[in-house]
């Protein structure tokens, strides 16, 4: 048995040089690859979060930020109580600077006697130490919302004011965009409420609704509903003033009666478009609902 011939792999000086170079270069390359493999993440200076998502988003954010409001979105109006809490209570809760104090009938009685419209107007334009709109801008709170706050405060001072009529739903689309839009909205609102006032005035020889409703507690709801209808609601609903659904007109009522009764009551209580809350009366909620029932049963 002879051993296989012992062939040395390096036979020439050239091969020797190549072997030496390779024995240095190969480990170096392997080490570099290993280091890269282990440390795959993006490198940043020690202790910075300059590449965190938040920091990047901030750097690439547009310089001017625009807060777009969808002008066609239905506007949710603040209630009088919400506006009062947010704005008016600053002075009116304690009677600061001579403001009529919330809930103090003595402070409010002489003011209430001026009537709701005057108080509303005063709240919008200011008076003495009372800043116009309580110091807010029309973009913050509409005339309507300020009016609700006035009614809320006055009612807690002994008045029985209803909320002002809600602005027509078809207010200009560019609401809030400019003073012009604001002005025309105000014009539309006041035109609508002027019409409504005229409709109610046409009925001025009728006794005040709350007198009747208050005198005869709604023992017989149907009776009270009919009475309230005749005294208040028919001013618009008998003939369809301002596009009110006409009494007994099944076609006019059918689309509305698809809503649940609670929704329909709500419209009658809090207004809808040209329909003033409670028809502009101060009747009790129960009587208004009874009047709705009366109108609805006539349209079925
Ligand atoms: C910076 C304090 C302050 C704020 C905020 C304020 N009021 Fe007044 N308000 C007053 C003062 C003071 C008076 C009394 C003015 C007078 O009779 O000279 C007053 C009076 C009134 C009156 C009676 C006006 C009259 O003719 O007698 C009404 C109504 C009224 N405020 C509504 C509001 C409403 C609504 C808000 C919130 C949207 C509001 N106020 C926010 C200080 C304030
Ligand atoms: C100043 C005129 C006016 C008076 C007064 C009035 N209404 Fe209306 N009412 C309207 C108008 C306008 C509409 C239609 C509103 C709309 O659809 O935008 C309406 C709609 C309604 C609706 C239907 C709401 C719906 O779409 O489901 C009910 C219910 C209603 N009124 C009840 C009453 C009751 C109850 C009274 C009396 C307490 C009353 N109205 C007094 C003008 C009036």
| 72-116 pLDDT per residue, tens | 677 788 899 999 999 999 889 988 888 999 999 889 988 998 889
Domains, in order of start, for the chain: 80-164 (1.10.760.10), 209-298 (1.10.760.10)
Question: Residue 195: nearest ligand to its CA?
Answer: 2
CB of 112 closer than 6 angstroms to any ligand 1 atom? no
Q: How far is the CA of 93 from the centre of ligand 1 (A)?
A: 11
State the closest ligand 1 atom to the C-alpha of 128, by its place in the atom list counted from 1.
18
**Would you say 107 and 91 are in contact if contact means Cβ atoms under 8 Å apart?**
no
**Would you say 91 and 85 are in contact if contact means Cβ atoms under 8 Å apart?**
no
Q: How far is the CA of 123 from the centre of ligand 1 (A)?
A: 6
Q: In the structure encoding, which two tokens stand for residue 25, read together?
A: 């270069």
Residues above pLDDT 90, as percent of the chain = 24
Q: In the structure encoding, which two tokens stand for residue 162, read together?
A: 């209803």
Q: Which among 153, 156, 184 is positioned nearest to 171, based on CA atoms?
A: 184
Q: In the structure encoding, which two tokens stand for residue 272, read together?
A: 């809808």
**Would you say 256 and 245 are in contact if contact means Cβ atoms under 8 Å apart?**
yes
Q: In the structure encoding, which two tokens stand for residue 182, read together?
A: 């604001």
How many Å separate Cα 150 from the centre of its chain?
A: 19
**Would you say 71 and 176 are in contact if contact means Cβ atoms under 8 Å apart?**
yes
CB of 99 closer than 6 angstroms to any ligand 2 atom? no
CB of 290 closer than 6 angstroms to any ligand 2 atom? no
d(CA 288, CA 294): 10
d(CA 8, CA 99): 111
Asked if residue 149 has pLDDT above 90, the reply is yes
Please report the sign of the dihedral spanned by the C-alpha atoms of residue 235, residue 241, residue 242, residue 246: positive
The pTM of this model reads: 0.40
Atom 26 of ligand 2: nearest residue by CA position:
256
Q: What is the pLDDT of residues 180-201, one digit of tens each?
A: 444 454 555 555 555 555 555 5
Q: Which among 242, 240, 237 is positioned nearest to 225, based on CA atoms?
A: 237
**Would you say 162 and 151 are in contact if contact means Cβ atoms under 8 Å apart?**
yes
Atom 33 of ligand 2: nearest residue by CA position:
268
Tokens 């390779």 found at: 22
Question: Residue 95: nearest ligand to its CA?
Answer: 1
Q: What is the pLDDT of residues 106-147, one digit of tens each?
A: 899 889 988 899 999 999 999 888 889 998 888 888 899 999
d(CA 180, CA 178): 5
Cα-Cα-Cα-Cα dihedral of 141, 142, 148, 154, to 10°?
80
CB of 280 closer than 6 angstroms to any ligand 1 atom? no
Residue 174 confidence class, pLDDT cut points 50, 70, 90: very low
Q: How far is the CA of 201 from the centre of ligand 1 (A)?
A: 29
Residues with Cβ < 8 Å from 40, sequence gap 6 or more? none
Q: How far is the CA of 276 from the centre of ligand 2 (A)?
A: 7
Residue 178 confidence class, pLDDT cut points 50, 70, 90: very low
State the closest ligand 2 atom to the C-alpha of 228, by its place in the atom list counted from 1.
38
């Amino acid at each position: 048995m002879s051993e296989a011939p012992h062939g040395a792999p390096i036979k020439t000086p050239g091969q020797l040089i190549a072997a030496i170079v390779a024995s240095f270069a190969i480990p170096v390359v392997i080490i570099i690859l290993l280091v890269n493999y282990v440390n795959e993440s993006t490198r940043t200076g020690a202790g910075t979060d300059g590449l965190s998502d938040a920091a990047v988003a901030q750097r690439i954010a547009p310089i001017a930020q625009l807060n777009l409001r969808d002008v066609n979105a239905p506007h949710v109006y603040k209630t009088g109580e919400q506006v009062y809490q947010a704005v008016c209570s600053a002075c009116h809760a304690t009677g600061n600077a001579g403001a009529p104090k919330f809930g103090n009938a003595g402070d409010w009685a002489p003011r209430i006697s001026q009537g709701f419209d005057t108080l509303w107007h005063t709240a919008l334009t200011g008076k003495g130490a009372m800043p116009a709109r309580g110091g807010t801008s029309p973009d913050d709170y509409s005339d309507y919302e300020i009016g609700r706050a006035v009614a809320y405060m006055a009612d807690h001072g002994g008045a029985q004011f209803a909320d002002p009529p809600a602005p027509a739903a078809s207010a200009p689309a560019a609401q809030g965009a400019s003073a012009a839009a604001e002005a025309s909205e105000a014009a539309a609102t006041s035109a609508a409420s002027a019409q409504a006032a005229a409709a109610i005035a046409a009925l001025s020889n009728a006794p005040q609704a709350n007198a009747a409703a208050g005198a005869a507690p709604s023992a017989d709801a149907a009776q009270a509903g009919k009475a309230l209808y005749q005294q208040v609601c028919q001013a618009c609903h008998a003939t369809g003033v301002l596009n009110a659904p006409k009494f007994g007109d099944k076609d006019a009522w059918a689309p509305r009666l698809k809503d649940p009764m609670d929704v329909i009551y709500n419209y009658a209580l809090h207004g809808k478009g040209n329909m003033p809350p409670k028809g502009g009366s101060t009747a009790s909620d129960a009587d208004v609902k009874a009047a709705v029932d009366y109108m609805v049963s006539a349209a079925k």
